[in-house]
Structure 1
């Protein structure tokens, strides 16, 4: 792989960090400046993929019975207020696959920013949105889904999502320095509230590559990782398929969707990435300030990987 090409390409952009491990060993480290190495970064929607891991752990530990538990179990008052009774069929599975069917034009007229952040009750804001598709039939990007998942985690574990993560994910991974912002109801922001060091993002990627194990210790079931990173529905050709809060796509877009051409990734606004390429045993973390084009780092990484 042409690391010189990658270094030069990154240096031209507002990329803060790029880390690459292969077979669990660092093969490339790029920092825009010395401060970036120890700096915590707001990882934006990469937070969603970490919430997905936490849902898997909650299922493993029987805090949740199944993905098919209806939202009504957790928010009966809000669901009883709904005039559209089809919302009673909404489940955790609909949230984690973003097939809830609610009108949430986050990648449309809202331009990647949901007004839910201003609301005093984000869960209610999301559930109150009109239902425009039958649940389970269409994937539409909806940050509100992940915030509801965070609220559910808090409810079933009697811990804030951050506390649950600290106990069952961050501590086993050796992640010590982080912040996780709260909404007005003191629920950790599931959609985009997490701040991490790049090296700790890399650990999350390594966990996914190793199918739920880290340092030979099982943290989340292999079944959950495989399920999360399986391509489910494709709404956005320019990003890829959506699994369970992980994106899945082809490395070489000109070739078929085969195992050796598959990769999956967490993606955050502004160019934050945790990229896993299983057949090459690669994990790549990127942090950026490219808010005008969040996909630019991915294009650079793709070019680097295919330019052998």
Structure 2
């Protein structure tokens, strides 16, 4: 592995840290300065991918019945006030795959910012949005789905999502320092509330790479990892397919999806990434301040993949 040219490229950008592990061993570490080594980074929408793990744990521990559970069971008053009866068919599966059908132009007119953050009841704000598509037929990026999932976890477990995560995910991974911001109703922000160290983001990637096992402890099932990272719908060609709160793409864009030709990743605004390449046993963690172009780190990784995977890849 030769990271010399990769290092030169990332030094030109507002990239704060890059960690790469292969077979769970550190093979590369870049920090812009000493402060970055122990800094807690706001990981923005990488929070969503960690929330996906928590949904799986909640189902496996039988706090939740299944992905097919209707959302109206948790918020009956909000749904009783809806005039569009189609919303009654909304399920947890639709939320976690963002196939809710609601009008939520986060990657459109709102320009990556959802005004739900100003609302006193974010769950109500999201569910009150009109339907643009029949539920389950179309994927549209919707941070509101993630926050509703967090609210559901808090409701069924009787504890804040942050506390549920600490007990069932963070402690087993050895994650001790973090923050998880809440909304005005004291619900852990499911869309973008987490603040973590780069080394702890890497642990999340390692857990995923190892099929839900960390230090010989089973934390989440391999079946959930597989389901979460299976490509579902391709709405944003410049990013990739969407699974269950994880993005999925091909290493070589000219070839078919196979286990050897796919990777998946968590993506946060400003260039925060947890990238997992199962075929090469690689985890790449990135923290950035590139708010004008969140996809730049992904393009840099793609452009240099052949250096540390040994594969010829299609660059975008």
Q: Same fold (TM over 0.5)?
A: yes
Match of 1:162 in 2: 162
1:289 equivalent in alignment to 2:298: no
CA distance in 2, matches of 1:5, 1:150: 41
CA distance in 2, matches of 1:98, 1:213: 27
CA distance in 2, matches of 1:168, 1:229: 21
1:83 equivalent in alignment to 2:83: yes
Match of 1:38 in 2: 38
Equivalent residues in 2 for 1:104-123, closer than 5 Å: 104-123=104-123
Measured on the aligned residues, the alpha-carbon RMSD in Å equals 0.7
Equivalent residues in 2 for 1:225-236, closer than 5 Å: 225-236=225-236
SS of equivalent to 1:186: coil
Q: After superposition, give the CA deviation of every residue in 1:10-53 in whole Å (9 maximum; x if it has no partner).
A: 10000000000000100000000000000000000000000000
1:218 equivalent in alignment to 2:226: no
Query: Conserved in 2, the CA contact under 8 Å of 1:252 and 1:306?
Result: no
Q: After superposition, give the CA deviation of every residue in 1:78-103 in whole Å (9 maximum; x if it has no partner).
A: 00000001001101000000000000
The structural deviation recorded for 1:251 is: 1.4
The structural deviation recorded for 1:303 is: 1.2
The structural deviation recorded for 1:173 is: 0.1
Match of 1:126 in 2: 126
The structural deviation recorded for 1:110 is: 0.4
Q: What is the count of residue pairs matched by the alignment?
A: 308
Runs of 4+ in 1 over 6 A off after TM superposition: none
1:97 equivalent in alignment to 2:97: yes
Match of 2:261 in 1: 261
TM-score by length of 1: 0.99
Q: Which runs of 5+ in 1 are unaligned?
A: none
Q: Which runs of 5+ in 2 are unaligned?
A: 311-316
CA distance in 2, matches of 1:59, 1:34: 40
Match of 1:245 in 2: 245
Match of 1:23 in 2: 23
CA distance in 2, matches of 1:206, 1:277: 10
CA distance in 1, matches of 2:88, 2:69: 11
The structural deviation recorded for 1:5 is: 1.0
1:207 equivalent in alignment to 2:207: yes
CA distance in 2, matches of 1:105, 1:2: 41
TM-score by length of 2: 0.96
Match of 2:270 in 1: 270
SS of equivalent to 1:135: coil
The structural deviation recorded for 1:260 is: 1.2
SS of equivalent to 1:260: coil
CA distance in 2, matches of 1:226, 1:5: 33
